[in-house]
Structure 1
Amino acid sequence: MSIPRLAAAGVAVGLLSGLLGIGGGVVLVPILVLLMAMAQKNAQATSLAAITLTALAGAITYGIAGDVVLVPAAVVAGAGMVGTVLGAELVHRMSERALRALFAVVMVAVALRMALAPEVGSGAGELAHLDPLVLLGYVGSGLLMGLLSALIGIGGGIVMVPLLVIGFGFTPHEAQGTSLAAMVPISLMGAWRHARRGYTDWRAGLVLGVGGVVGAPLGAAAAQVISEVWLQRLFAVMLVVSAVQLVLRARRRPTR
C-alpha cells in the first residue's frame, strides 16, 4: 500500500465525511479490501483509525459554523465508547453476512424516510437539555453508533445523522456536525480495541487520516451552501449505495 494511494483515498473519504457528516468507513473499507488487498478485519480496524482524524477535521469546521450541539455530542460519545467496547468483543462471534444484511435493510429504510420526507426540524436547541427521555434517546443512539462502529468499521454517522434529524429534530447540518464530534472518541476507542488483537494498521490509518483532514474541510464548506433538502436526498442516495455494497460483499463471503 503506497503512501500516495493511501493519501488519495483519504482525501476522497474526507470530502464525503465533510459533505455528508459521515466517517467515510462505508467507502474506505471496500477501498482497502478491494483495491489494496487488506484483510476485512484489518480494513475495518484501520478505517476507524483514519476516521478519527477525518471526523476531527470535519467537526472543527462544523463547530466554527455553529453546527455542533455540545451536550448531545458529549452524551452520544460517552455511550458510544461503551458500545464500541461491546462491539469489539462481539466482532469475532457474529456472522458478518447476517450483520451486513440487517444493516443494509436498516439503511434502505432510513434512506427512503429521508428521501420521501425531506422536511427538517427547526433546530436542536430545545433538545439540548438533559430531559430524562431525551437523555435516554441520546444514550441509546450512542450505544448503537459505537456498536456498529466496532462491528463494521464505520464511524457511525451513517446511522446517527438520520436518527438526529428524524428522531430529535436536528437540522441536517446540526446532525452532521454533532455526529462528527461524537465520532472522534468513538472511532479512536474502536481502533484501540481492535489494535489489542493486532488488526489496526496505525501507519496506514495515519496516512489515510491526514488525507481526510485535507478533504473534510472542503466537503464541510460545500455542505454549508448546499440546500438542506438536497443534502438529505444526497445522503439517502449514499445510504442506498452503501446498502448495496454491504449485501454484495456479504453474498461473496461464506457464512461464519
Structure 2
Amino acid sequence: MLIDFAMYGALGVVLGALGGLFGIGGALIAIPVLGMWFGLDQQMAQGTALVMSVPNVYLALYRYHQRNKIELRQALPLVLMSFCFAWLGAMLAVGVDAGLIRWGFIGFLLAITFYNVFKLYGSARQPVNGSRFGWPAYGALGVLAGTTGGLFGVGGAVVAAPVLTSVFGTSQVVAQGLSLALAAPSTTVTLLTYAAHGEVNWLMGLPMAVGGLLSISWGVKVAYAMPERLLRGLYCCFLLLCAVLLAVKA
C-alpha cells in the first residue's frame, strides 16, 4: 500500500510539473498514462486524472495570477459558460462507449495539435495585453471549451489556449492563465459528475494530487522563463505525445 502511494505520488510530481508548464493541470497526459500503464478504461482514467487535476489547476491559476494578473472581464464569461457546459459534456461522456470516447479524444488532440503547428509556423500576429474581442466572444469560447472539457476530462484549457493566442491575440502565458481560470470550476463540476457515476479511482488519484501540488509551481516558473516560440513548440509536441499514447492503448 505504501509502495503504491509512493508510486502514484511520484507520477503526480511529473504530471504536475507538466501541468504547470503548459497550463493544463496535468490531466491531459495523466489520461493516456493511466489507461496504458494501469489498465483503466477511458472514463475511469479521465475521472481519476481529474482528482489530481482539480487541486493542481487551482494552484497553477494562483501562480499564474501572481506573475501576470488575470483580467476579470476576460475570465468571468469564460468561467461562467464553461462551468455550465462542462456538466453537459461530462454527462454525455459517462454514458458513451469507452472506445468511442477514446478515439474521439485522439481525434480531438490531433486537431488541436495541427492547429497549433499551423499557427506556430504561419504568419505571426503580435500578441496584445488585452484582447481583440469583447465578453460575448469569451462566453462563446467558454461554451466550446467547457463542453469538450467535460466530455474528455481535460478542463477545456487545451481548447482555450490556442484559440486565445491565435484568434484573441494574447501571449502564450496569458492564454494559459486564462485557460486555467476557465478550467478551475469546470474541472470541479466534471470530477463531481464522474464521481457520482463511479468513474473515479480515489486510491490512485489522491496521491497523484499530492505529488502534483509539490511540483506544479516549478512548472509555472519554467513556463515564464521560457521563450514564447519554444513554449508553443513544446506544447505541440506534448499534445502529439498524448495522442500517440492513447492510440497505442486503443
AA at the equivalent of 1:93: V
Equivalent residue for 1:114? 119
Cα distance in 2 for partners of 1:65, 1:196 equals: 36
Q: Deviations over 1:178-236 (max 9, x none)?
A: 11122111111100011111112344333212211111100111111111111111112
Contact residue 82 and residue 142 of structure 2 kept, 8 A: yes
Equivalent residue for 1:207? 207
Distance 1:74 1:209, change over 3 A: farther
Equivalent residue for 2:78? 76
Q: What CA RMSD, in Å, does the superposition of the two structures yield over aligned residues?
A: 2.1
Distance 1:23 1:117, change over 3 A: farther
Identity %: 27
Equivalent residue for 1:130? none
Cα distance in 2 for partners of 1:80, 1:6 equals: 29
Q: TM-score, normalised by structure 1?
A: 0.87
Cα distance in 2 for partners of 1:31, 1:239 equals: 13
Q: Deviations over 1:64-116 (max 9, x none)?
A: 10153333222212111122111122112363255234313412322222331
Structure 1, unaligned runs of 5 or more? 128-132
Q: How do 1:51-200 and structure 2 match up within 5 A?
A: 51-91=53-93, 92-93=95-96, 95-96=100-101, 98-117=103-122, 119=124, 121-126=126-131, 134-200=134-200
Cα distance in 2 for partners of 1:223, 1:238 equals: 14
Cα distance in 1 for partners of 2:230, 2:69 equals: 18
Number of aligned residue pairs: give it.
245
Contact residue 120 and residue 171 of structure 1 kept, 8 A: no
Distance 1:106 1:72, change over 3 A: same
Distance 1:245 1:137, change over 3 A: farther
AA at the equivalent of 1:68: I
Distance 1:187 1:97, change over 3 A: closer
AA at the equivalent of 2:96: R
Give the superposition deviation at 1:163. 0.9
Distance 1:118 1:86, change over 3 A: same
Cα distance in 1 for partners of 2:213, 2:76 equals: 22
Cα distance in 2 for partners of 1:25, 1:5 equals: 17
Cα distance in 2 for partners of 1:118, 1:7 equals: 42
Q: TM-score, normalised by structure 2?
A: 0.88
Give the superposition deviation at 1:7. 0.8
Contact residue 79 and residue 142 of structure 1 kept, 8 A: yes
Structure 2, unaligned runs of 5 or more? none
Moved more, 74-83 or 118-127: 118-127
- Look up the SS of the partner of 1:161 in the other structure: helix
Distance 1:119 1:168, change over 3 A: same
Distance 1:230 1:56, change over 3 A: same
Cα distance in 1 for partners of 2:147, 2:248 equals: 22
AA at the equivalent of 2:34: L
